[in-house]
Structure 1
Amino acid sequence: MSEYVLQTNGLTKKFKASYALDKVNMSIRKGSIYGFIGQNGAGKSTLIRVAAGLAFPTEGTIELFGAAEERELVRARKRIGSIIESPALFPNMTARENLEANRILRGIPGKDCVAKTLELVGLQGTGRKKAKNFSLGMKQRLGLAIALLGDPEFLILDEPTNGLDPMGVVEMRELLKRLNQERGITILISSHILSELYLLASHYGIIHHGRLLEQVTAEELKAKCQQYVHIKVDNPDKAAAVIQNELGTSDFEVMPDGAIRLFKHMDRPGKISSVLAAEGLEIEQFMPMGEDLESYFAKRIGGADHE
C-alpha cells in the first residue's frame, strides 16, 4: 500500500501557448493536511481539477492511492470527496434533501449517512430551510457535507473558506482538523488566507506560474521562517549605517515604513540597543519577531520571478 495519497510526475497542462502546469512533481502523504499555496492563475485549480478527473494532463502522470492506470484511477477517485470552485447545490432543496439526492446519484447505500453527515458539519437543525436561503457559510458547510458522503479517505478543497466571515473561517478550520485527526482523512486545501493555513496545514506546496517551487513540512517551514529583531528608530538611515559599521553585519532589511529587521545578533539584544543608543538614536520599538507564512511565500515567489 502506498504511503502517498497523491503523487504526480512531470505533470503538465498546456493551453495553446501557455502552461497552466509545468512538470509538477507533487507528493501528498497519507494522513497529512497539505496547504496548496499560489496566486490566482498559478495553477492550483488546474492541478486540483486534474486530480479529481475533471481535466486531463497534456503530459506526465498522476497516481492516486498508488493507482496510475486509467481504470484504476477511476476506481481510486471513488475514495475522494471534493469542493472545487463553489459547491454544486440544489437551491430549492433543504440540506437533507441535497444530501439525499447526492447519495442516490452516487449510489451510496443506506440513508443513515445523511443524518450523520449533517450533524458532523453542524447543519442538523436547518429543517425545511432551502439551500438558496442559506448564508454563505452554511452553503460551504453543505458543500463539505456532500463531499463527505461515502466516507472519503481524501478531501480536495479549493478555497473552502472563500467569503466566510472570521467566525466561519475558524469553524471550518476546526472541523477540518477534527476530520483529519479523528477520521484520518487526508486533506488537500488551497486557500488565499495564508494565516489560516499556517494554523492548519502539516505540509505545504508553493506553486508559481505553473511550477511547483517547493514542498515543505510545517516543521521545516518554521525553521525557514527567519527570526529577527524588529527595530523602529527616529532615523532609520542612520541606524542602518550604525548596524553595518558597529555591529559588522549587512544581514538586515529596512522596510517601507522605516522599520528595520535585523536577522543577526538575536542572542545579544542588549548589545544592539546599547550601540544604537550610543549613537544618539531614539529607540521607539524593539522586539524579537519571526516571519510568517505570508512573508515567506512573498519572498519565495519574488525570488522565483528572477530565476
Structure 2
Amino acid sequence: MTDYILKTSHLTKQFNKQIALHKVNLSIKKGSIYGFIGQNGAGKSTLIRIVSGLAMPTAGSIELFGYSHGSALVEARKRIGTMIEGPALYPYMTAAENLEAHRLLKGIPGKDCVEKALAIVGLQDTGKKKAKNFSLGMKQRLGIAISLLGDPEFLILDEPINGLDPMGVVEVRELLKKLNREYGMTILISSHLLSELHLLATHYGIIHKGDLLEQLTVEELNHQCQQFLHIKVSNPEKAAAILETTLATNNFEVMPDGCIKLYRYVDTPGKVSSTLVNEGLIIEQFMPMGQDLESYFMERIGGIYHE
C-alpha cells in the first residue's frame, strides 16, 4: 500500500509554443492537506485538470493511488472528488436538488449520500432556498458537497476561497479541516491566497511559470519563516556560551560565517544586547529578521507578490 495518494513524474504540458507545466515531480502523502501555491497562470489548474482526467499531458506521467496506466488509472480517478474553476450549480434548484442532479449525472446509487454530504458541509437545514440566493460561502460549501458525492478519498479543490468574504473563508477553512481530521481525507487545495493556506495546509508546493520550485512541510516552512535575532559579535564562540549559560537558551544557530540566529528573546532584544555587552563583547550587527509566507514566496519566485 503506497503512502502517497498522488505522484507525478516529469509531468509536462505544452500548448503550441507555451509550456504550462515543465517536468513537474510532485508528491502528495496520504492524510495531508497539500497547499498548491502559485500566481494566476502558474500552472496549478493545468496540473489539476491532468490529474482529474480532463486534460492529457504532453509528456511525463501521473500515479494515483499507486496506479499509473490504463483502466487501473481510470478506476483510481473514481476515488477522487473535484471542484475546478468554481462549483457547477443549478441556480434555481435547492441544495438537495443540486446534489441529487449531480448524483444522477455521476451514476452514484442510493440517495443517502445526498443527506450525508449536506450534513458534512452544514447545509442540511437550507430547505427550499434556491442556490442563487446562497451566500458565496454557502455556494462554495455546496460545491464541495457535490465533490463529496461517492465518498472520495482524495479531494481536489481549485481556488475554493477565491472571492469569499472573511466569514466565507473561515467556513470553508474549518470545513476542510473537518474533512481531513474526521474523515481522513487527503486534500489538494490550490490558491494564491497564501495567508489562508498557512492556516490550513500541512504540506506545500510552490509553482511558478510551470516549474515546481519547492515542496516542503509546514514545519519546514515555519522554520524558514521563523523570526529571529541576527547577531554578529567579536567572539561568536563566547557569545554562544553566554546564550547557553547566562540567558539559559540553546534555541540558536551559529552560522558558517560566525553570525548567530537567536530564536528566543525576539520580543526582548534589549536583554540580549545588554547581556552580551556586559560580558565584554563588541556587537557589530544586531537586528530582528525573518519572513512571513508572502515574503518567502516572493523570494522563491524572484518577483513581487500580489495577493
One-letter amino acid of the counterpart of residue 148, structure 1: L
Give, in angstroms, the shift of residue 198 of structure 1. Answer: 0.8
1:57-72 equivalences in 2 (<5 Å): 57-72=57-72
Find the residue that maps to 1:199 and give its secondary structure. Answer: coil
Q: 1:271 to 1:95 in 2, by over 3 A?
A: closer
Task: Tell me, yes or no, if structure 1 residue 150 matches structure 2 residue 150.
Answer: yes
Give, in angstroms, the shift of residue 171 of structure 1. Answer: 1.4
Match of 1:42 in 2: 42
Task: Tell me, yes or no, if structure 1 residue 201 matches structure 2 residue 201.
Answer: yes
Distance (whole Å) between structure 1 residues aligned to residue 287 and residue 198 of structure 2: 22
Give, in angstroms, the shift of residue 93 of structure 1. Answer: 1.0
Q: Which runs of 5+ in 2 are unaligned?
A: 237-258, 276-285
Distance (whole Å) between structure 1 residues aligned to residue 192 and residue 122 of structure 2: 24
* Deviation digits for residues 243-289 of structure 1 (CA, Å, limit 9, x no counterpart): 989899xxxxxxxxxxxxx98466682377669xxxxxxxxxx9967
**Contact map agreement 2:42 2:208 (CA 8 A) in 1:** yes
Please, what TM-score do these two structures have when normalized by structure 1? 0.81
Find the residue that maps to 1:19 and give its secondary structure. Answer: strand
**Contact map agreement 2:5 2:65 (CA 8 A) in 1:** yes
Find the residue that maps to 1:20 and give its secondary structure. Answer: strand
Task: Tell me, yes or no, if structure 1 residue 213 matches structure 2 residue 199.
Answer: no
Distance (whole Å) between structure 1 residues aligned to residue 260 and residue 172 of structure 2: 35
Range 48-57 or range 262-271, more displaced? 262-271
Match of 2:189 in 1: 189
Match of 1:80 in 2: 80
Distance (whole Å) between structure 2 residues aligned to residue 271 and residue 3 of structure 1: 47
One-letter amino acid of the counterpart of residue 72, structure 1: A
How many pairs does the alignment contain? 271
Find the residue that maps to 2:31 and give its secondary structure. Answer: coil
One-letter amino acid of the counterpart of residue 117, structure 1: A
Distance (whole Å) between structure 1 residues aligned to residue 272 and residue 19 of structure 2: 48
Q: Which runs of 5+ in 1 are unaligned?
A: 231-242, 249-261, 276-285
Distance (whole Å) between structure 2 residues aligned to residue 287 and residue 180 of structure 1: 40
One-letter amino acid of the counterpart of residue 157, structure 2: L
Match of 1:12 in 2: 12
Find the residue that maps to 2:189 and give its secondary structure. Answer: strand
Give, in angstroms, the shift of residue 299 of structure 1. Answer: 1.1
One-letter amino acid of the counterpart of residue 33, structure 2: I
**Contact map agreement 1:266 1:288 (CA 8 A) in 2:** no
Aligned Cα root-mean-square deviation (Å):
2.7
Distance (whole Å) between structure 1 residues aligned to residue 38 and residue 45 of structure 2: 10
Runs of 4 or more consecutive aligned structure 1 residues displaced over 4 Å after TM superposition: 243-248, 262-268, 271-275, 286-290
**Contact map agreement 2:228 2:264 (CA 8 A) in 1:** no
1:1-307 equivalences in 2 (<5 Å): 1-229=1-229, 264=261, 269-270=269-270, 290-302=290-302
Please, what TM-score do these two structures have when normalized by structure 2? 0.81
Give, in angstroms, the shift of residue 71 of structure 1. Answer: 1.5
* Deviation digits for residues 159-180 of structure 1 (CA, Å, limit 9, x no counterpart): 1111111111111111111100
Taking only the aligned residue pairs, the percentage that are identical comes to 71
**Contact map agreement 1:92 1:130 (CA 8 A) in 2:** yes
Q: 1:106 to 1:299 in 2, by over 3 A?
A: same
Distance (whole Å) between structure 2 residues aligned to residue 90 and residue 36 of structure 1: 28
One-letter amino acid of the counterpart of residue 34, structure 2: Y
Find the residue that maps to 2:90 and give its secondary structure. Answer: coil
Find the residue that maps to 1:31 and give its secondary structure. Answer: coil
One-letter amino acid of the counterpart of residue 54, structure 2: L
* Deviation digits for residues 54-89 of structure 1 (CA, Å, limit 9, x no counterpart): 111000001110111122111111101011011111
**Contact map agreement 1:6 1:28 (CA 8 A) in 2:** yes
Give, in angstroms, the shift of residue 209 of structure 1. Answer: 0.9
**Contact map agreement 1:10 1:22 (CA 8 A) in 2:** yes
**Contact map agreement 1:6 1:63 (CA 8 A) in 2:** yes
Distance (whole Å) between structure 1 residues aligned to residue 234 and residue 102 of structure 2: 69
